[in-house]
Amino acid sequence: MIQTPYYLIDKAAILRNMHVIERLCDASGAKALLALKCFATWPAFDVMRPHMAGTTSSSLYELRLGREKFGKETHAYSVAWGDDEIDEAVSYADKIIFNTIGQLQRFETQSAGIQRGLRLNPGISTSGFDLADPARKFSRLGEWDAAKIEAVIDRISGFMVHYNCENGDFDLFDRQLADIETRFGHLFEKVQWVSLGGGIHFTGPGYPVDKLAARLKAFAERFGVQVYLEPGEASITKTTTLEVTVLDILDNGKKLAIVDSSVEAHMLDLLIYREPARMETAGPHEYQICGKSCLAGDIYGDFGFPAPLNVGDRISIADAAGYTMVKKNWFNGVKMPSIVVRELDGTERVAREFGFADYEASFG
């Protein structure tokens, strides 16, 4: 048995998402780029590479990882490039997308040899959280003034518009895209490509993939552009679990089980967005599953189990691929989960283990 804690990535489950992506791209003509900020666990890339067009990034390191570990088409985006980064970024990128006109102008000479794009902020989004809302008040994420953009349009060949967030509602997507077409369509007509970003939950159950494909195709034809999508979560949803072991059981008026992991360190987004973890379990024996850091609120959630839990029992926490491994940290010095890949033939392979040396090296 592999020592817990570990993230267990199921390649067969990734492949199921890849087949949906491929179907969408074939039917629409769109190209799909993996958004590395959501998932950068490159030991799983071999099962994704044949089905996606490449990667997109939010920093120099993501960009380089995409170029070196995924290959294919590599888009470079960053909220702000530094003077010390730009030449290296351009050397890896097929397209570079600037967040502002200011950055586009600042790095005009350095980026002259590759295709350039600009991030467009449409002023609308589907995010319910201010923290993750690119269209929040005074947002720094992209340009929104069509007149200002038009003045520099000869310097770019495309736009990136990222405004969806786990949007599983096709009709909402359709309405918002229509609104964006009305306000920015005259700009789209002047470029060769438009990336509609990530956040469309089209690999979710029951999503009308064919309708989305038709909508994207119509968009591409209307403006004469190559459409890109940048699925992060949709690429890896429901593919990975966090495997943990019960270390202690308490009863403080409520049954608690402490496991060899930490929400704060290993699934931080649950705390940030105040969501309980998900677990495929049910039954009459209720426990609150808690992390082993000393943070009082380090709690995965309350779950029912078919039998009483015992020290040494293994528990599997669902949906541990997106925005988890990219945010894992050394809080409390809790052992970082290993990364395990379940290959297509069912064998489980430890791709990476972390130890004290990694912890120590993160400080000096």
Q: Which residues bind ligand PLP (CB under 6 A)?
A: 35, 37-38, 77, 162, 165, 197-199, 230-234
- Note whether 251 and 221 are within 8 A (CB): no
Nearest 5°: CA angle at 303, between 131 and 342? 80
Question: Based on CB atoms, which residue is closest to ligand PLP, 54 or 232?
Answer: 232
CB of 296 to ligand PLP, least distance (A): 30
CB of 240 to ligand PLP, least distance (A): 14
The amino acid sitting at 110 is: Q
Give start and end residues of each alpha helix (H) in the chain: 11-28, 60-65, 86-92, 101-106, 146-150, 170-188, 209-223, 233-236, 263-266, 268-272, 356-361
Work out the widest C-alpha separation in the chain, in whole angstroms: 67
Torsion angle of alpha carbons 18, 22, 28, 33, nearest 10°? 60
Question: Based on CB atoms, which residue is closest to ligand PLP, 66 or 232?
Answer: 232
Q: Is 32 helix (H, G, I), strand (E, B) or coil?
A: strand
Question: Based on CB atoms, which residue is closest to ligand PLP, 11 or 37?
Answer: 37
CB of 234 to ligand PLP, least distance (A): 5
Distance CA 247, CA 310 (A): 9
Distance CA 94, CA 53 (A): 12
CB of 232 to ligand PLP, least distance (A): 2
The DSSP code for 64 is H
CB of 230 to ligand PLP, least distance (A): 4
DSSP strand pairing (31-35 vs 226-229): parallel
Question: Based on CB atoms, which residue is closest to ligand PLP, 212 or 290?
Answer: 212
CB of 6 to ligand PLP, least distance (A): 23
Question: Based on CB atoms, which residue is closest to ligand PLP, 101 or 249?
Answer: 101
Question: Based on CB atoms, which residue is closest to ligand PLP, 117 or 231?
Answer: 231
CB of 45 to ligand PLP, least distance (A): 16
Q: Cα separations (Å) of 229 from 38, 344, 348?
A: 14, 26, 31
Question: Based on CB atoms, which residue is closest to ligand PLP, 39 or 219?
Answer: 39
Three-class DSSP labels, 257-323: EEECCCHHHHCHHHHHCCCCCECCCCCCEEEEEECCCCCCCCEEEEEEECCCCCCCCEEEEECCCCC
